[in-house]
Amino acid sequence: MDETGPIGRRERKKLDTWRAIRQTALRLITERGYSNVSLDDIAEAADVSRATLFNYFRSKEAMLFDADPEEQIHWEHFMAGRPADEHPWASLEAFFLDYTGGYEAKLRLQKQLQNEAPTLDQAKQGVSVRLHTFLSTWLQSRLTDQGKNPDEAEFLLGVAFVAMGTAFGRWNATQDFKVFHDLIRSAFHWAGQGLLSS
């Protein structure tokens, strides 16, 4: 699917189907538990054939972790809108708050499944690599534009991912989602002390 510009009616219909299947999968897994939902269950509830299901997702894990096809366009627009003189650390905090804000249901489910299906951690790696690549490229460019060393990008990004992991680890999925965002802000505050003054 072309992610570089506006999409036509056919591609939009495919995207709507992709999202409908994923939403159905998230709902069923939330209601019944990961191990109690089969691909056939998802196909039936989404009113698509098993073959159609596999045209969109290679596995049940992919329904939890594959990025929305338009997601990177949103990332690009969001980061393009950050003030040119904003410290990259503050930009990263804003990015992760925006990013997680669109995935409350998915993040709650992933948190709940940590104990039930620990092997799902491997499935998350593809998403992390894609996100890391995007943010690394953006950070190097922003640091260069601000007259700073672009080699600092990997350091900043590494600390940011640790901060996010800490916030997610401390959050309980039964809590209000605002608690998770407060934990992200706190983690970025503590990890970023000294960075924002440089």
**How much is the pTM?**
0.79
Q: What is the pLDDT of residue 33?
A: 83
Q: Establish if 130 belongs to a structural domain.
A: yes
* pLDDT at res. 75: 94
CA distances from 46 to 54, 84, 96 (A): 13, 44, 30
The CATH number assigned to the domain holding 119 equals 1.10.357.10
> 166 and 83, same structural domain?
yes
Q: What's the structural domain count of the chain? A: 2
| Calpha distance 77→67 (Å, rounded) | 16
| Domain limit, last residue, from 43, 64, 85 | 64
Residue 136 shares a structural domain with residue 178: yes
Torsion on CA atoms 36, 37, 38, 43, rounded to nearest 10: 160
What is residue 99's predicted lDDT score, i.e. its pLDDT?
92
Full residue range of the structural domain in which residue 129 is found: 71-191
Q: Is residue 1 part of a domain?
A: no
82/49 same-domain check: no
Q: Are residues 52 and 96 in the same domain?
A: no
pLDDT in tens, the chain (198 residues): 444 445 688 888 999 999 999 999 989 988 888 889 999 999 999 999 999 999 999 888 888 888 788 888 999 999 999 999 999 999 999 999 999 998 888 888 888 777 666 556 555 565 678 889 999 999 999 999 999 999 999 999 999 999 999 999 999 988 999 999 999 999 999 998 877 665
**Distance from C-alpha of 130 to C-alpha of 17, rounded to nearest angstrom:** 23
Q: Is residue 3 domain-resident?
A: no
Same domain, 90 and 130: yes
